[in-house]
Structure 1
Amino acid sequence: METITNSKDNTYIWLAEKGTYDLKQQLGQMVDIVSVKPDTLVLPYGILSFKKVPVVLKSKVNYASGYDALYGVKIRPDSVKIIGAEQEISKIDFVETIPFDLNEVKTNINEIVSLELLNASERLKLSEENIKITAEVEKFTEGTFEIPITILNIPNNVELNYFPKHIKVVYYLSLKDYKNIKVNDFRVECNYNDISKTEKSFFVPKLIVSSDKVKSARMKQNKVEYIFIK
């Protein structure tokens, strides 16, 4: 069949006036072609390619009071391949799931959720149409410790006093791990270098948590005042 190639727009244009003979050859001599409508076909084309992009979970998961997931919601696979014309897939940086909401969650999450390509050509394909969403849901609780403050990098010729000497830390973790958490899993540090060349009259303490069993932790105080001793 006769075609016109438009390389700028990546299209083939088929014209009936030039392609009717080829049609008749394929249909056979017993068929008489009177007319062809439409008389022009515009066929887009492109170099078939693929691109790996991350999956974005479009969800709202609300846990019941006293429940949570230590490691949050996991998705598998966390990325997929988009297959299609190179020009089209180059504009896509991620793929979203369909909206997925759960409320008052108390048990483990194990769901299959579909993916969608918003505002994309129907010619594009995904290597996976669905992903798996999982989460280990447990009972959670809070605990508190009084953590001693450590002052770092004090020069030998400098003496100072600071207050308070301890800061209360509130931490949040799975109930089953509560008895395994110790004071030594937390450190509160202040750095002399942070105030040595300033006129600040206080340190800003930094909380360091060494246990991966703690989902979150916070200090009840964010200033440590000090005075120099002459």
Structure 2
Amino acid sequence: MKPGKWKIPDSIRGGKPSQFVFFFFVSCLLWFLIKLPNRYTSTVSLRPEYSGVPQEKLLVDPPKNIKVDINAKGMRLLSMKYFGRNVDIDLSALRKKTSDTYYLLAGDLRKQLAGSLPEDVEVRRFAGDTLFFSLGENITKAITVIPRTDITFAKDYRIYDSLTVEPENVEVFGPDVEVNKLDTLFTVKLTMKNVSENINSAVALDVPSGFGHLKFKDKNVIIKARVERFSENKLTVPVFVINVPEDKEVKTFPSEIEIKFTGALRDISKLKPSDFKVICDYRAVTDSVNYLPLKVSEMPETVKETELSRHGVEILVKQPASEM
């Protein structure tokens, strides 16, 4: 090929369809370049950079983009439409709507954008007439933690007293508009199978979405529980009658009853009949009823469940010997 001359590719010289595509592309490119100096109106997305927030306030989830119709030359418009543009937004002159909601009117925003956009860019219209903002004050609050668990135990084993969380309350720091929405915090679910030993597990807090500005003094808590082997035992205990008039003497039939109880093996093996009290109430006696229901009125705290061998006893009433 001689210097200074263009060589047309064989694919273009080889057929009419290829020539058409090539010249169509060149025509479109020339048309595009010719039109670029002209002015057009289109919607672009601006990326705001906020300043001027009052020192005692915190900006919560501000708008990340502002949609606006602008009029500009083709090249400028093309650049802003596809690459966006950062703009400065001063919030020192916000208008107040509620205790934590503020806003800027389109007119206020138009004045500010005039200083951030090039002189040849004309702001025509905003996607909304008003831009809203949420401002909060940083506060600290103690939030109650509730454990989520899925625990199954080995045969005859169970929790001795109760499941506990340490700490029971977690201090949360952040904007009041978020902190005040929290009354409780749950943990991530603790799953344990076939448990026969004490529980002592670190579990993370399950922070709900939408609270990204909060800081937690503790991000994990300890779920604890004392686990014991449980068993059943039986004792024969006397039956007591309460509310007996002074002028009456009563006996029950039977005078003793068997009580079956459940508790931790280490506890129930030490219990005696005197640790329980089974009663019936004389006031339930009528001319036609002398069968009184029984209930357990006293038992050790270590006993979890009780069951009596019968639901009631017969009562025999007689006058004192001195009156006969």
Percent identity, please.
24
Other-structure match for 1:217:
306
Q: Does 1:180 align with 2:270?
A: yes
Query: Which stretches in structure 1 are left out of the alignment for 5+ residues?
Result: 25-30
Residue 181 of structure 1: CA displacement?
Answer: 2.1
Task: Please list the CA deviations of residues 152-188 of structure 1 after superposition, one character each: whole Å capped at 9, or x if unmatched.
Answer: 2312012333333223222223333343222222221
Greater gyration radius: 2
Residue 58 of structure 1: CA displacement?
Answer: 1.9
* Larger RCO: 1 or 2 (CA < 8 Å, sep 6+): 1
Residue 125 of structure 1: CA displacement?
Answer: 4.4
Q: Bigger CA drift: 178-187 or 63-72?
A: 178-187
Aligned equivalents of 2:288 and 2:178: distance in 1?
56
Other-structure match for 1:71:
161
Other-structure match for 1:28:
none
- Cα RMSD (Å): 3.5
Evaluate the alpha carbon distance shift between residue 51 and residue 157 of structure 1 in structure 2; reply closer, same or farther with a 3 A threshold.
farther
Other-structure match for 2:252:
162
| Other structure's SS at 1:114 match | strand
Query: Which stretches in structure 2 are left out of the alignment for 5+ residues?
Result: 1-89, 320-324
| Other structure's SS at 2:165 match | strand
Task: Tell me if the contact between 1:162 and 1:227 (Cα under 8 Å) persists in the aligned partners.
Answer: yes
Once the two structures are superposed, the pairs formed by residues 1-230 of structure 1 within 5 Å of their partners are 1-2=90-91, 3-8=93-98, 10-14=100-104, 15-20=108-113, 41-86=131-176, 88-118=178-208, 121-193=211-283, 195=284, 201-210=291-300, 212-229=301-318
Evaluate the alpha carbon distance shift between residue 49 and residue 191 of structure 1 in structure 2; reply closer, same or farther with a 3 A threshold.
farther
TM-score by length of 1: 0.75
Q: Which amino acid aligns with 1:10?
A: D
| Other structure's SS at 1:128 match | coil
Q: Which amino acid aligns with 1:166?
A: E
Residue 32 of structure 1: CA displacement?
Answer: 5.0
Aligned equivalents of 1:83 and 1:167: distance in 2?
60
Task: Tell me if the contact between 1:203 and 1:226 (Cα under 8 Å) persists in the aligned partners.
Answer: no
Q: Bigger CA drift: 7-16 or 71-80?
A: 7-16
TM-score by length of 2: 0.56
Residue 227 of structure 1: CA displacement?
Answer: 4.7
Task: Tell me if the contact between 1:207 and 1:219 (Cα under 8 Å) persists in the aligned partners.
Answer: no
